[in-house]
Amino acid sequence: MSERMKKELEEKRARVAELRRAREERMAQLAQASTSQGPVEPLTTSRKDVNDLVESLLARPSTPARQTSYVSAQSHATPNIGTSGRASRSTPPESSLPGTPGGRASRLSNEGSTGGSGGTGRSGFTSMTPSQPMVDRETVGSPFQPIDFVDMQQELYELPSKTVKPVTYSKAIQTSVTISTSTSDLESDAGSEDERGIIRRRRRRDDGESGRETEDDMRTRILEELEEERKSLENELKELKEKGEEQKVNNLSDEQRQAIFAAPDFSAFIEESTKIVQRALSDGYDYIKDYTIGIDGAFDESEGQKIKLFCAFSDERWTNGRSVTDLDWSPKFPELIAASYNKNPSAINDPDGIVAVWNLHLLERPEFIFHSPSDVLSVTFSPYHPTLIFGGSYSGQVLLWDTRAKHLPVLKTPLSSSGHTYPIYGMKMVGTQNANNLITTSTDGLVCSWLSDMLAQPQETLPLTVPSHNKTDEVSITCLDFPDNETSTFWIGTEEGSIYQANRYDRASSKAGLNSEDVYRGHAAPITGIDFHPGTGSIDFSDLFLSSSVDWTVKLWKTKASSSNNSKNSSSNGVKGETGGIGSLHSFEEADDYVFDVKWHPHHPAVFGTVDGNGKFDLWNLNHDVEVPIVSTTVSSEALNKLAFDKTPLSKKVGLGSSNGKVYMYDIMEKLIQPRDNEWIEMQKIIQSLAASKENTTNGLVGELNTQGRSRYR
């Protein structure tokens, strides 16, 4: 369509150009004629023209072609010389050539006349030049010039009234231009054929004009379109290219793959990204879950359970074949728990000891793995530096790992006589943010305190001995604990079964070292764990502590300093012929195997948990029952070594370290561990009555304190 139009436009433009040229020629000739006043040379032709003119005047409808030629000549002359006024008067149907104002003028005059010389549109340009001289002559004689301008004005007025012009800006409307032209032709059907021809002519010319305008538009538009097309093509090409490339490189050669596998940043990437992905996978919640759809098995069986297994941390590569020796929750990140492990006899190439940091949001693998040249027996997060983890090893080394560093310890103590040379089972960080020490105890009775950033040698050493013991003065420390907010005085559990109080520093009442006067007797076998009451809540029970032992019992003690019946105890023990000692407040004898650990619940004053060699986890509530645990769960067939309640405000989760290398994570029903307000007062009553009953039994029967107390206090 546009092509056709373009062609048309091209033609028109050519015609217009010719016209213009012709006019210029004529003007030049006119100028010549006016100076020469009747040139001689055109005379020959002019005679014929005169004849023609006469003829046309006499018989207008005859020979339209000739008439046209004459008329056109006349009309052409009009603008230049002003004869058109006369022409309009004399020759109505002159019908002009397109583009000349004279044409318009004649058209005006034409309106009045009915007669018309049809086929004016066919008037050849060739006829113009011959007619020129005649016009010249006419011009000379014509006195009326200004009238023509009036005509012109009218013409101009008529121009804008044409409906076609403004609609030529878009392609679609350009096509309709031709249509509207034809309709206008039809409209003017009432007029003479001649008029129609004129109109068509003019229209065409106008089209030419407007076409020229649109052409610019069109050209820009076409250019734009082309540009767009080019761009889209380019894009397509690019995409194709990319696709092709991807297609090509999608098949990496074996060499390439090996090169990638060998790259160090690749393994680092795999390590990191899989960790992230596994966290995401552990999340396990479907974000677009639709609860409007019924789910089979509507009830979770474990919903009513008091405790339920949340997960079990283990790693085939690292933890299989080892046992968990200690557990500690991160004080900073409540989802992280560190577990220490002993040696795996079947993995000779692996480090003897490891520490794994597990994440509740990353169930399938440890967040960090730390190596140790020797079995790690105790582990603790630094409460003041959340990235630091301390470990005590079987060889007597204290190791420090940093989660920002790699597997190997960033600091470790030398294996020298200045530090530990025996297994470190007890470890505790005490002090404040600005002044803190790591206290470690080894089985040879040595207590060391360390600065966390200086492990080259201990800050203090304190060898503990029991000179009063009848066989040996050695104390094999298996565990220690400090009361809440206490940094100097601590209690240790020993292999022989006694619990001693010790001071780090000299005090007014006692010297540094073991207080051999105060012996907490009761256990008949090595102590496996000591835990002081957390001392939170309305009443302070921080003088209470629990101990677990290989003798299948867990005992509740009250420290001597605050013990009101201290003297009585001493006396009663004196009756037994011992060097002195303090009896327990109560003994829990529900276990039928070694009890390996005991821990108070961090927030409930009366709740504590125990783990034993049968793989059983017991949860006790003294306010509820002092004889049997409120919950007893067999976690695994193998022994549980350690337990640790998490450090969140609720402490719903408990980690259980098993001798099969797994860390079981249990959720405790909130009801069981959420303390009521009166829980502390009840606890106080219970403690008082326990103490009272024990007093009674010691007064009545010597020995068998615990069983008596138990039956009485049922």
Partner 1 sequence: MSLEQSTSQTLPSSQSLHTLSLDNVQSPPPPEIESTLSRLSSYRNVKGVMILSRTPSGASSSTAAPSPGTVTNASGGIVQATGNIFEGESGKKYAKAVEEIVLRVGKALGECDESDDLKFMRIRTKKHELIITPDEKYLLVVLQDPGQ
Interface positions with partner 1 (CB under 8 A): 238, 241-243, 245-257, 259-261, 263, 265-267, 269-274, 276-278, 280-281, 284-289, 317, 364-365
- Residue with smaller CB distance to partner 1, 254 or 677: 254
CB of 286 to partner 1, least distance (A): 4
CB of 497 to partner 1, least distance (A): 44
| Cβ atoms 652, 646 nearer than 8 A | yes
Residue 330 vs residues 19, 272, 385, 427: alpha-carbon distances, Å? 98, 21, 10, 15
Amino acid in the structure at residue 513: G
- Residue with smaller CB distance to partner 1, 253 or 470: 253
| Cβ atoms 130, 103 nearer than 8 A | no
Residue 543: what are its φ and ψ, rounded to 5°? -90, 0
CB of 294 to partner 1, least distance (A): 14
- Residue with smaller CB distance to partner 1, 216 or 271: 271
- Residue with smaller CB distance to partner 1, 281 or 702: 281
- Residue with smaller CB distance to partner 1, 329 or 370: 370
CB of 256 to partner 1, least distance (A): 5
DSSP symbols for 434-492? SSEEEEEEETTSEEEEEBTTB-SS-SEEEE-B-TT-SS--B--EEEEEPPTT-SSEEEE
Bridge partners (DSSP) listed for residue 612 = 595
CB of 638 to partner 1, least distance (A): 24
Tell me the C-alpha distance between 498 and 514, whole Å. 12
Bridge partners (DSSP) listed for residue 631 = 619
CB of 383 to partner 1, least distance (A): 30
- Residue with smaller CB distance to partner 1, 141 or 284: 284
CB of 341 to partner 1, least distance (A): 19
CB of 267 to partner 1, least distance (A): 6
Report residue 81 as tokens: 């010389």
CB of 252 to partner 1, least distance (A): 4
CB of 342 to partner 1, least distance (A): 23
Residue 127: what are its φ and ψ, rounded to 5°? -75, -15
User: Beta 513-520 vs 527-532: how paired, if at all?
Assistant: unpaired
Report residue 144 as tokens: 């009326």
Residue 168 vs residues 42, 105, 195, 220: alpha-carbon distances, Å? 44, 26, 24, 14
- Residue with smaller CB distance to partner 1, 269 or 505: 269
| Cβ atoms 586, 712 nearer than 8 A | no
Tell me the C-alpha distance between 560 and 582, whole Å. 7
Tell me the C-alpha distance between 451 and 435, whole Å. 9
Q: Which of 558, 569, 501, 528 is nearest to 683 (CA)?
A: 558
- Residue with smaller CB distance to partner 1, 238 or 685: 238
- Residue with smaller CB distance to partner 1, 265 or 301: 265
- Residue with smaller CB distance to partner 1, 172 or 288: 288
Residue whose structure tokens are 């001071």: 503
CB of 350 to partner 1, least distance (A): 13
Helix axes 64-81, 2-36, angle to 10 degrees: 70
Tell me the C-alpha distance between 119 and 113, whole Å. 16
- Residue with smaller CB distance to partner 1, 158 or 272: 272
- Residue with smaller CB distance to partner 1, 365 or 603: 365
Amino acid in the structure at residue 323: S
Q: Which of 551, 678, 669 is nearest to 605 (CA)?
A: 678
Report residue 398 as tokens: 């204290």
Q: Which residues contact 93 (CB under 8 A, 6 or more apart)?
A: 60, 67, 71, 106, 110, 113, 115, 116, 117, 120, 194
- Residue with smaller CB distance to partner 1, 271 or 303: 271
CB of 343 to partner 1, least distance (A): 22
Tell me the C-alpha distance between 217 and 262, whole Å. 62
CB of 346 to partner 1, least distance (A): 17
Amino acid in the structure at residue 232: S
Bridge partners (DSSP) listed for residue 460 = 449
**HEC profile for 595-662?**
EEEEEECCCCCCEEEEEECCCEEEEEECCCECCCCCEEEECCCCCEEEEEECCCCCCCEEEEEECCCC
- Strand runs (DSSP E) across 470-574, as ranges? 477-481, 489-494, 499-503, 513-520, 527-532, 544-549, 554-558
Sequence-separated contacts (24+) of 414-422 with Cβ below 8 Å? 414/456, 414/457, 418/457, 418/458, 418/461, 419/448, 419/457, 419/458, 419/461, 420/392, 420/396, 420/444, 420/446, 420/448, 421/395, 421/396, 422/396, 422/446
